[in-house]
Amino acid sequence: MKYLVFWCLALSLADFILMGVDKRRARRGVWRVPEKCFFVLAILGGAPGAVLGMWTFRHKTRHWYFRYGLPAILVLQAAAVWLIFRGGK
């Protein structure tokens, strides 16, 4: 269990940092982080960091697939965790 929490925290931190890095690179007009990378990290457990980074840095909020896709992944993951722990009782 603690490894799963560590895994999600690490991926969330990575996705959060990538949002900030990509926002900075967008302002400078240099090479950007591929959008696919944000979604892969989010699906693997970093959705909280992706959503938090998106709103903190106000980055990718105009793209519908980020605005709705990342929160949807977060909700689905939260529901899965809730069902897993609820089922154990």
Distance CA 77, CA 69 (A): 12
51 with 74: CB under 8 angstroms?
Answer: yes
pTM, entire model: 0.87
Q: Give the end-to-end CA distance of the chain in Å, rounded to a whole number.
A: 16
Flag whether pLDDT at 1 surpasses 80.
no
3-class DSSP assignment, residue 72:
helix
- Section 5-26 average pLDDT: 94
Taking only the tens place, the pLDDT of each residue in 29-78 is 999 999 999 999 999 999 999 999 999 998 888 889 899 999 999 999 99
